[in-house]
Structure 1
Amino acid sequence: MRKRTLSALIIAGLGLSLSACNNSAEDAGTTEAGTAPQLAVQELPPLEDQWNMIYDYCVDCHNETDYTGGLSIEYASPDFVHEEGEVWEKAIKKLSTGQMPPLGEAQPSPEQRQTFIASLEAILDQEARDNPNPGAPVLPRLNRTEYQNTIRDLLALEIDASTMLISDDSAEGFDNMSSALQISPTLLEGYVAASGRVAALAVGNPDMQPDFVTYRVSQDTSQNKHILGSPIGTVGGVTFEHYFPLDGTYELSPALARTIQDEARGIEFPSTLEITIDKVPVHTADFGGYQDTEESEFGSNSFQLAEEIDGRFQFSTFMSAGAHTISVNFLRVPGGPNGEIWKQHERTSLDLDPLKGPPHLQKVEIRGPFEATGTGITTAREKIFICEPGALEDEQLACANEILSTLARQAYRRPVTENEVSDLLGFYEIGNEIGGFEKGIETGIRRIISGPEFLFRVETAPAGVAEGQPFQISDLELASRLAFFLWSSIPDEELINIAAESRLTDPGALEEQVVRMLADPKAENLTTNFASQWFTLRNLQAIVPDPLTFPDYDDNLRQSSILETQMLFQSIIDEDRSILDVINADYTFVNESLAKVYGISGIIGSRMRRIEVEDENRRGVLGHSSILTLTSLGIRTSLVTRGKWFLTNLVGTPPPEPPADVNTDLERFNDGTPRSLRDLMELHRSDPVCSSCHYMMDTIGIAMENFDGIGRYRTFDGEVLIDPVETLFDGTEIDSPAALREWLMGRPNIFAGTATEKMMQFALARPLEWSDMPHVRTIVRDAAQNDYKFSSIIMGIVQSVPFQMRVNEGSSEAVASTN
């Protein structure tokens, strides 16, 4: 998924700018880029000379009487713009996107609009330079993703944190917002319990009792196709990585999917199940066909037959401790049950006859260990046990000191104090008395990964900084911010060492580390974590299009569509492409499932491959099945959802929530006359309460209406010809997704600004405030000089005042959000 040319691409793209910025409160306005707004102020006409614009175009609605949108600027003054930044930043957004004044009202000339916007921005940008306000996030704690990644990097142990910790709340679309990461007794108990499971897995507990883990296959997975990552020559089933805690014997128990009558599915023809461990076939079992359906008198004892077939699948084997890749699939039989002769639609789980179609795997259960022989040699143990304890007590204590202090330094993201090491050794002693040296280490690890030093990211004001004043965070705190931004994990040894020596803020050092970290595979976090939340891809897992309306939609297509969008974003990172390629890329990644949706011929198999996009409507994420499916309803498309997604995630102007008592049921307009969704929505927004917001959203959805609920192109909505021609809120006529994309590409600062805002929110772990917007504009302006390359935006964020500074909030700095 990654290309190792990233470092060279970023360095070439950034050129001399790599050493141009080492921001601080004193020199924030001294660089060439920083002086540009000051020059603009000198060249612009005074704002008071332009102030009649708000009386000509704004005050008729935004006055003390009408108070439209909860805003009045009737008595606003150009002399106090810098003190009313929250109001004017919103105005800049609305004016820049053409959403205000509303369509149909008198409009300023383009020159008048742009001059007024530039004048507002210049004043607010100057205020940000004169009085920096970097904000102060609530004390951030590790969320589930960060906990999982941190355990991976700290202990070389892959875990599934979703099985250990409750889900995190989100704010502004992201689950790392510190204000939403509340603390409760239940959550803290979860972290303590998780620490016990994690420490035992990492160290290995020879006395552990057999346990079991179940891996389930999604019910709507079609199992007549090759599953990505599974052995060649197989179809259906599942492939996963399982961590075996000890050397010992384990039992693998696959089970076929059942019908509602508890009958095994897909046994009309002979089939073979195969179990593969680390790419080596270890067990096969034949089932189905005449022997099972005729000799066993299928129907009279179907429940017992299903149990008997599952019994054939069971396989016991000795496994070494550690992570192993397990595949349980069916061998492909050309022309057999997983051939094409019987198939009517893509989703095979819709077949009603329990005998027909291919077999379906429901789950794989792994039990063990039985007859354990030891802890084995695992990557986790190699990471932990960096010394030999020896036979003497002093030797063991010295080794425990080395192990725990080394782990604590990385876990706490800074050098540890003598008192902290002494505390850890106290826990070691408790465990050592119970079960010896390794139990002592396990107990010490539990203390490390359940303590506040690990779970919370504390940033402390230097002595002498008054409450309410901004300050530069330390190099170690900056290293932590950087690692959790790019990796959603802790700093590695190199980053901690540089920060501990106070060299991270040396000229060029920060830029060098950013380049290195982006080239690391852990930076795929920006795709799987940040971008997946930005584009709301996580929501697709819970969306199940109506199987009767969309019988070709299955989990295979769902996972492929998610992967397409992720691979596009990852290619932008790897190749340091323009962030505008998110919406304008002339290439994408498809496999056979996606190619069928897109009407592309010649694509066979589950492997994702890069192709050129020939259809202008398919360029960028607006043409992706993932986005088109998650912005639809189960039985049809949704003009509102698609419009809202576009405005929120690409334009950066989310529409307000509808009134609580609004009637959204479109069926009330159904009188038997064939109507398109556009017709129904026009009837709905005839209500003045709904019209203003709906018009902004619906026009966008109408332009995308030629894509159905899973992303297939169409010209009819049922019996009605689709009419995609509409006029956007700024008066631009559009008639297709391509036209919508061209509108956005014609205003690159809008999308680049939204992308920067989303990324900056994620980086700061807090929602952006109006006082952050001047810094966003600076980043976008500088990135524009480099074709909006991804690295330019990343570098701009990590060099910005909000990323490198914070406000001293006194005692509140150490207060977490509680529940």
Structure 2
Amino acid sequence: MPRLTQQFVFALILWGCANAQFTYAESPNHAPFGEAIEPYLIKNCVRCHGAELQEGDFRVDTLSKDVGDGPSVNRWLEVIEKINNGEMPPEDEPELPTAQQNAEIVEWLATRIEEGRTARLAQKQPVSFHRLTRDEYANTVDDLFGVQFGVSDPSGLNEEPEWHGFERIGSVLSLSASHIEKYYSAAERILEEAYPTRPVQTQVVRKNALKLRGGPSGEVVKELEASGLVDKVRVDMWPGHEIQGGRPGPEGDMLKNGGLFKVRIQVSGMKPKGGRAPHLTFYADKIDRLLFEQDILAPEEQPVVVEFLADLPAGGHTFKVTNDVPGPSNLPRSGRSGSRPFFSLQDGRIPWQIKLTDEEGLPLYPFLIIDWIEWEGPLEPDALVAKRARFMPDEDGNMEQAKACVARLCEAAFRRPAETAEVERYYQIVESEIAAGADLRQAMKTGMLAILCSKNFLFVVEGNLDKPQAQLNDYEIASRLSYLLWSTMPDDELFALAREGKLREPDVLKQQFERMIADERAEKFSHDFPRQWLQLHKLGMFPPNKELYPDYDPHLERSMEGETYAFFQEVLDKNLTLHEFIDSDWTMVNPRLAMHYGIEGIEADEYQRVSLPPEDQRGGLLTQAAVLSLTSDGTRHRPVHRGVWVLQSVFGKSPPPPPANVNPIEPNPVDSPKATIRMKLEAHKHDPNCAACHRKIDPLGLAFDNFDAIGRWREEEVVAQGTGANPPVDASGTLPDGRAFSTPHEFKQLLLADMDPFNRTVVNKLATYALRRTMTVDDRADLEAIATRSKDADYRVRDLVEALVLSDLFQKR
């Protein structure tokens, strides 16, 4: 549709403006660079950070001499920090500058940076555009139309680029032709599901065990019908058994138009003594989506009915139901009942088949028994109907209603009052469609399509070209707050307060924060923020080798990730302190993760808080299986990667990239004594290009050498090749400030002894997430003020988030 293209062109033009680079005027009111600082740098810095040698991949001689306004501001800030911390010049230099000389250099640099701040702020672009992430897009569409669009489906939206784990950075989220095509297609599908062209009728379709099983033969079915046993037949599901294709799904065109469906399954689940519970999964093949999973514990004579909702796109679907646990072969010859109908575990088995139960009738394997699967839908509950009715006239031909609906959708979708010219532009699309022969419903959908493809919907827009200002207006505060805590658009209460101009009032903003953080929608914050801060997208990037780690499976991987989210949620809900993130005497586990950790007595398939014994080395985020696994490569743990993760996530610093052509760590030679990775890393410290960084990184990762690539505790490092016994693990180390440790617990105690660096890191990460941009030198004072409030509140996490929301920084563009 050509007239919609201009919406995207306009978005692209403004996006280019939002990323434009600006230059700043030089401030002459100070001693020149050549007199004030250059002699100091030549004498004390350039020898190790110049053309011939760049320790830590840092050069001083190429930094911009325009310290306050040039492109090297952040690098000069690093110079200040190194001098202030006593790291530079190093103590082994033959002639060190005096404390007074150091102080004069720091003061000169700091003054130049502060002078440049005013110029940088004055040149700030008048409008900022931050594209919605695909998860935010899905949540916003759900709020508008009640459609749960699958953005991660193969035909959904593009995966987001990330910067240090963050997916919300406006300058990173570009808009390409591929995005445009995907957004257009997504909007069409969303609107067709919300306002279907053809009427749909809710149906209930049930498939019994015979249909799910795909047998037995016709003669056997006749016998079952004659004896009244058809409804007694059940599906026996051994470990790994799958029901595939159309059998788990409804017949006919029930799913053709898509929509919201309820699925019910009557099922029993038997767990062997000391073993795993059977795990039911329901998977949609064509859209690559896991719809449901749960451990099932129910006697075969007392089955339970589990149910879940699934919002499916229009089209044909195939499904897969699995007993997703490892076990023996489920081939007919050894396990399944073959063409023989299955009624009960107690029925007895053919002599050559594997026994299902022991002499006491207890199951020998995790076993599922399914009686039937039922589908109901498409569902149109009253709340859903009312939500969609807001934007569609209820009288055919009533153009006054049509215009009011267009205006209502513009205001909701743009998250601010719609201007008259905007409403008129989209209403004209509706009129032109009617003039071309479309009915009102179809014409309205075309107008809605244009709105959903507008820059004002796809981007969180902050600022006004006509009235440039440094502060957010009330509607922009409402959006920033709602996308921070709920990852979606503001609700009616936030809109109402913005309309009244009250969100700038601290008491009102505080009340809204407390309301929203207590809402169930805040679970999105407890999922999205730690996922991006801790870079959990890397979990599973390198699947562990099956031969080395046979216990690792997708269920365990999802359970690892779930622990971190549940842990963060518990800390937030109880307003616990940042100390818990470093070390705690508890964690959150479900049965699968409890088995991985060796914790007994966990039956209910949900995350629950468990106490850890004093001798347990777990506790906090750093020793959770998800973190330990994402910093491994699928074959072995990687101390350097773990050290980099700690440096970024705990200390808020990123090391420079490694030098080119660094030799990788080679496998242990067959004829050499077995050596740990620690021993092999020592070789890198003899290379001056590597030593400076490895001295800071390696101890942070080696502190967790007692944990293998999937987060299991160990006392020795298993080395596949070489002679002699496996060497014992050595988790000792020394921090750059000289403090030593010998175990993961001791390392965490050192971090707890000085919480300020971690506090500042969390404040910085949270601000980056909330403001959708990187923090700069100009934000230091605001960030420090928030960190101080956090410290005064004993580092309590909910109070920290509140301090950010109530800060001046949160209301700045």
Could you tell me which residue of structure 1 aligns to residue 422 of structure 2?
Answer: 420
Task: Determine whether 1:753 maps to 2:757.
Answer: no
Q: Deviations over 1:348-375 (max 9, x none)?
A: 447567556667999x999998xx9xx8
Q: How far apart are residue 782 of structure 1 and its match?
A: 2.3
Aligned to 1:764: 771
Residues 553, 388 of structure 1: alpha-carbon distance in 2 compared, 3 angstrom cutoff: closer
Distance, in Å, in 1 between the alignment partners of 2:274 and 2:536 is: 33
Deviation at 1:463, TM superposition (A): 4.6
Offset, 1:347: 8.5
Q: Is the 8 A contact 1:96 1:117 kept in 2?
A: no
Matched, 1:733 2:735: no
Distance 1:107 1:178, change over 3 A: farther
Aligned to 2:584: 585
For residues 653-672 of structure 1, the aligned pairs below 5 Å read 653-667=653-667, 671-672=671-672
Structure-2 residue corresponding to 1:594: 593
Is the Cα–Cα contact under 8 Å of residues 631 and 645 in structure 1 kept in the other structure? yes
CA contact (8 A) 2:83 2:106 kept: no
The partner residue of 2:179 within 181, 187, 194 is: 187
Counterparts of 2:121 and 2:157, CA distance in 1:
35
- CA–CA distance in structure 2, aligned partners of residues 448 and 112 of structure 1: 62
- In structure 1, the residue matched to 2:794 is 787
Shift of residue 507, structure 1, vs aligned partner? 4.3
1:140-159 equivalences under 5 Å are: 140-159=130-149
Deviations 1:647-666 (A, max 9, x none): 11111112222233222142
Q: In 2, distance between residues paired with 1:377 and 1:752?
A: 46
Higher share of residues assigned helix:
1
The CA deviation at 1:633 is: 2.0
Deviations 1:259-288 (A, max 9, x none): xxxx99xxxxxxxxxxxxxxxxx9996245
Give the secondary-structure state (helix, strand or coil) at the position aligned to 1:588: strand
- Which runs of no fewer than 5 residues in structure 2 stay unpaired? 1-34, 216-229, 279-322, 336-364, 719-725
Correspondence for 1:454: 457
CA contact (8 A) 1:676 1:717 kept: yes
Change in CA separation of 1:252 and 1:767 when aligned onto 2, cut-off 3 Å = farther
Identify the match of residue 730 of structure 2 among 710, 723, 729.
723
Aligned counterparts, 1:194-209, within 5 A: 194-206=186-198
CA distance in 1, matches of 2:367, 2:681: 44
Q: Does the 8 Å CA contact 1:347/1:554 hold for their aligned counterparts? A: no
- Picking from 177, 191, 197, the partner of 2:169 is 177
Closer, same or farther in 2 for the Cα pair 1:161/1:339, shift >3 Å? closer
Evaluate the alpha carbon distance shift between residue 72 and residue 561 of structure 1 in structure 2; reply closer, same or farther with a 3 A threshold.
closer
| Contact 1:588/1:611 (<8 A) preserved | yes
CA distance in 2, matches of 1:558, 1:783: 33
Once residues 690 and 498 of structure 1 are traced to their aligned partners in structure 2, the CA distance between those partners, rounded to angstroms, is 56
The residue identity in structure 2 corresponding to 1:788 is Y
For residue 538 of structure 1, report the CA deviation from its aligned partner.
Answer: 2.4
The SS at the match of 2:650 is: helix
Query: How far does residue 771 in structure 1 lie from its aligned partner after superposition?
Result: 2.4
- Counterpart-to-counterpart distance in 2, 1:691 and 1:256: 66
1:408 aligns with 2:410: yes
Q: Is the 8 A contact 2:471 2:812 kept in 1?
A: yes
1:335-484 to 2 correspondences below 5 Å: 348-349=325-326, 354=331, 355=334, 376-377=380-381, 379-386=383-390, 389=393, 393=397, 396-429=398-431, 436-461=439-464, 463=466, 471-484=470-483
Alignment of 1:6-45 (within 5 A): none
Alignment-derived partner of residue 239 in structure 1: none
Aligned to 2:160: 168
Which residue is equivalent to 1:776?
783
* Contact 2:263–2:376 (CA under 8 A) maintained in structure 1: no
User: 2:56, 2:690 within 8 Å by CA — same for their partners in 1?
Assistant: no
* Residue aligning to 1:86: 74
Contact 1:140 1:178 in 2 (8 A): yes
- Helix, strand or coil at the partner of 2:152: helix
Instruction: Tell whether the 8 Å contact from 2:510 to 2:802 is kept in structure 1 after alignment.
Output: yes
1:140 aligns to what SS in structure 2?
strand
Task: Confirm or deny: 8 A CA contact 2:54 2:689 kept in the other structure.
Answer: no
Alpha carbons of structure 1 residues 112 and 789: separation in structure 2 relative to 1, 3 Å: farther
Distance 2:486 2:137 in 1: 12
Contact 1:479–1:491 under 8 Å retained in 2: yes
Give the 3 Å change call, closer, same or farther, for CA 122–255 of structure 1 in structure 2. farther
Q: Which residue of 1 aligns with 2:538?
A: 539
Instruction: Write out per-residue CA displacement over residues 304-330 of structure 1, whole angstroms, 9 at most, x where no aligned residue.
Output: x999x9787565598999634435585
Bigger relative CO (Cα 8 Å, ≥ 6 apart) = 1
Change (3 A) 1:604 1:123: farther
1:386 Cα deviation after fit: 3.9
Query: Within the alignment, does 1:286 sit opposite 2:286 as a pair?
Result: no
Task: Provide the residue aligned with 2:129 in structure 1.
Answer: 139
Cα pair 1:322 1:379 within 8 Å, conserved: no
- Aligned letter for 1:415? P
What is the SS of the residue equivalent to 1:180?
A: coil
Q: Deviation of residue 796 (structure 1)? A: 3.9
Segments of 5+ residues of structure 1 without an aligned counterpart are: 1-47, 208-244, 265-281, 293-304, 807-819
TM-fit CA distance, 1:130? 6.7
TM-superposed deviation, 1:726: 1.7
1:502 and 1:247, CA in 2 relative to 1: closer, same or farther beyond 3 A?
same
Q: How far is 1:522 from its partner? A: 2.2
- Distance of 2:783 and 2:276 partners within structure 1: 55
After the TM superposition, which of the residue ranges 198-207 and 377-386 deviates more from structure 2? 377-386
Distance 1:89 1:430 in 2: 58
Asked if the contact 1:103–1:730 (Cα under 8 Å) also holds between the matched residues in 2, the reply is no
Give the superposed CA RMSD. Answer: 4.7
Query: How many Å separate the matches in 2 of 1:336 and 1:599?
Result: 15
Say which is worse superposed, 246-255 or 49-58, in terms of deviation: 49-58
Shift of 1:492: 1.7
| Cross-structure match for 1:675 | 675
On the 8 A contact 2:589/2:610 being kept in 1, the answer is yes
CA deviations 1:523-547 (Å, max 9, x no partner) are 2222221211111222224342112
| CA deviation profile, 1:714-749 (whole Å, cap 9, x unmatched) | 111121111222222222211122222122222211
TM-score (norm 1): 0.70
Task: Give the equivalent residue in structure 1 for 2:505.
Answer: 506
Amino acid in the other structure paired with 1:133: L
Give the Cα–Cα distance (whole angstroms) in 1 for the partners of residues 690 and 172 of structure 2: 31
Q: What does 1:536-685 align with in structure 2 at a 5 Å threshold? A: 536-615=535-614, 617-667=617-667, 671-685=671-685
C-alpha distance in structure 1 between counterparts of 2:62 and 2:137, whole Å:
50
Choose which of 749, 755, 759 in structure 2 pairs with 1:742: 749
Asked if structure 1 preserves the Cα contact closer than 8 Å seen for 2:212 and 2:247, the reply is no
Does residue 332 of the first structure (1) align with residue 269 of the second (2)?
yes
Aligned partners of 2:593 and 2:751: how far apart in 1? Answer: 26
In the alignment, the residues of structure 1 paired with residue 442 and residue 582 of structure 2 have an alpha-carbon distance, to the nearest angstrom, of: 53
Q: Distance in 1 between the 2:330 and 2:90 partners?
A: 57
Q: 1:423 corresponds to which letter in structure 2?
A: R
- Displacement of 1:101: 6.3
Q: Give the aligned residue type for 1:471.
A: A
Structure 1 counterpart of 2:426, one-letter code: L
- Equivalent in the alignment of 2:260: 323
Greater shift, 551-560 or 311-320, is seen at 311-320
SS at 2:260 equivalent = strand
Aligned-residue offset at 1:104: 7.5
Using a 3 Å threshold, how does the CA distance of structure 1 residues 668 and 771 change in structure 2: closer, same or farther?
Answer: farther
Contact 1:644 1:697 in 2 (8 A): yes
Take 2:701 and 2:512, find their aligned partners in 1: how far apart are those partners? Answer: 42
TM-score of the pair, normalised by structure 2: 0.71
